[in-house]
Amino acid sequence: MTMSSIVPVLHSEWLKIRSVRSQCVTLAAVFAATVGFSVLMCATLGAEEGAEAGFDPVRASFFGLNFGQIAAICFGAIAVAGEYRAGAIRVSLAAVPRRGVFYAAKLAVIGLLTLAVGLVTSTTCFVLGQAALGDRGVGIGAPGALRSVVGCGLYLALITLFAAGLAAVLRSAPAVMGILIPFLLMLSFVLGDVSEGGGWVDFLPDRAGQQILLQHPDGPLNPWTGTGVLVLWVGAALWAGNRRLSRRDA
């Protein structure tokens, strides 16, 4: 398939997302939730006197990421699982019979949109967050700062694709949200408290992926190997989604 034949597929996937209000709202919520909670936390920390041992001003800018990723999961799940409502997937596959091309185009649009929103979100979080920290803030030239800004956008895009892959497997947005949101927000937190030294818990997708946000990461994974672990999780979900789409009736 040539590039000229792929572009219309990409354009149609973009139109699908743009024309569905719920998808636009969840994508906007990624920005609003991440920035809102991050600035609120930084303002609180900036008002405190003295600095805690081990305080990480760079990571503080992205405190709201744990809330913003909920919206990212919802966006990825709805964008894929919405095809299975009222048989819309049959229409899509009639227009694009090559299922691999259809799946890849959908993932490309979802990933690129979330990456763009994620980078705008992370940049806004850093600028406003460091301003709210006052004297405790740092500049973009501080160690790990630029890497964290880029990494935050990348993390949001990968988490969205993780949800998209699971949605292709389960074909239900509520099912994906019901599994993935507790998994990312509660499981590693609870297991991290009961597991001394982290161990295998450090290889869970959120723990590994968020290493890139730390100014001075510690533990078995550095920023980029942690991102690599997250990529493996995402790749497994996307592969499973492709198998389900290719081998099962629409």
Check pLDDT > 80 for residue 51. Answer: no
Interior CA angle at 38 toward 32 and 40, to 5°? 100
pLDDT band (50, 70, 90) for residue 2: low
Can you give the pLDDT at residue 1? Answer: 55
SS (H, E, C) 94-118: HHCCCHHHHHHHHHHHHHHHHHHHH
Tally helices (H) and strands (E) across the chain: 11, 0
pLDDT band (50, 70, 90) for residue 191: low
Summarised one tens digit per residue, pLDDT across range 66-80 is: 999 999 999 999 999
Can you give the pLDDT at residue 94? Answer: 87
Q: Which domain holds residue 130?
A: 3-247
Summarised one tens digit per residue, pLDDT across range 193-212 is: 555 555 778 899 999 999 99
Q: What are phi and psi of 97, to 5 degrees?
A: -65, -30
In this prediction the pTM is 0.92
Q: What is the percent of the chain with per-residue pLDDT over 70, rounded to a whole number?
A: 90
Give the helix/strand (H/E) hosting 205.
Answer: helix 205-209
Summarised one tens digit per residue, pLDDT across range 133-153 is: 988 889 999 999 999 999 999
Check pLDDT > 70 for residue 250. Answer: no
Can you give the pLDDT at residue 233? Answer: 97
Can you give the pLDDT at residue 198? Answer: 57
Q: What are phi and psi of 48, to 5 degrees?
A: -80, 150
Can you give the pLDDT at residue 54? Answer: 73
Can you give the pLDDT at residue 201? Answer: 83
Summarised one tens digit per residue, pLDDT across range 95-118 is: 888 999 999 999 999 999 999 999
Q: What is the mean pLDDT of residues 221-248?
A: 94
- Higher-pLDDT residue of 221, 106: 106
**Structural domain tally of the chain?**
1
Tokens 């299922």 belong to residue: 99
Can you give the pLDDT at residue 248? Answer: 75
Can you give the pLDDT at residue 61? Answer: 94
Can you give the pLDDT at residue 127? Answer: 96
